Homo-oligomer: A and B are copies of this chain.
Amino acid sequence: MEQHAFKVIAHMESDFSSKFGVPRQSGLVPELRSRIVFEPEFRSVDALRGIEGFSHLWLIWQFSLAVREDGWSPTVRPPRLGGNTRMGVFATRSPFRPNPLGLSCVKLEAVDFKTPDAPSLIVSGADLVDGTPIYDIKPYVPYADAHPEALGGFASVRPEALEVDIPAELLALVPEERREALGGVLAQDPRPRYQNEPERVYGMGFAGLEVRFRVDGSKLTVVEISHAK
């Protein structure tokens, strides 16, 4: 079989230690900040010349937690359809695909020239787990990439957000600059499946915290926040 090796040029540094809680598309939680740290060979101020002229970037990356050793399956069950309906893998953005390649559009917030691993890119809206390998970074070119009139099949509309309740004494445990992002992440419904079990407590790691919550209908309530071990 014809194949080609691609080099990891960078890794994502994000608040998600595992896939639980990661938004299911880029841009859904604009408050999320993360940082693209280049591998030493690709750490170059020259390679970023002019990038500040672009507001959005494409990342091509690897679903590093979704590598299957047993081949690929032609169909997958998108969470958007309740996890019960099978769709063709090429009609979905599922991580489980012949090549575990991810595609995300992020907003470029800043180029950081100051840290020891500079230059790095501060971005927002990313849906990448901490440590995700990145293969390419491209500018978003609106005249070629923006098609607001496109038909989005079963993913035509943005998923509805949950109403989120984080009791004040728990929110106080979250660093102030992460509070909005945490609210945005929870509103995206981080449950692995969409069954209505109001009593069940789910857990999610975020920014070094372990966040536990319940979901009743369209309302999510945080019941515990602690420091991850």
Q: Which residues of A contact B (CB under 8 A)?
A: 1-9, 25-28, 39, 41-42, 44, 46-51, 53-56, 58, 60, 62, 74-75, 86-93, 97-99, 101, 103, 105, 133, 135-158
Contact = CB atoms under 8 A, between A and B. Distances in A.
Contacts of A90: 47-48, 51, 137-139
Question: Chain copies in the assembly?
Answer: 2
Nearest to A25: B144
Nearest to A134: B99
A150 B49 contact: no
Contact of A91 (B53, B87, B144, B158): B53
Dominant secondary structure at the A interface: mixed
Which of A51, A55, A145 has the most chain B CB atoms inside 10 A of its CB?
A: A145
13 contacts: A4-B5, A7-B99, A25-B141, A47-B75, A49-B74, A50-B88, A53-B91, A54-B151, A56-B147, A60-B103, A101-B136, A145-B146, A148-B148
A142 B150 contact: yes
Given A47-B75, A91-B54, A145-B105, A2 B138 contact: no
Contacts of A56: 147, 150-151
A66 to B, nearest CB: 13
A9 to B, nearest CB: 5
A101 to B, nearest CB: 5
A91 B121 CA distance: 12
Contacts of A93: 138-139, 141
Given A47-B88, A53-B152, A58-B103, 6 more contacts: A3-B7, A56-B151, A142-B147, A143-B156, A146-B146, A146-B150
Nearest to A49: B88
Which of A39, A58, A101 has the most chain B CB atoms inside 10 A of its CB?
A: A101
Contacts of A50: 87-88, 91-92, 153-154
Contacts of A5: 3-6
Contact of A54 (B41, B140, B153): B153
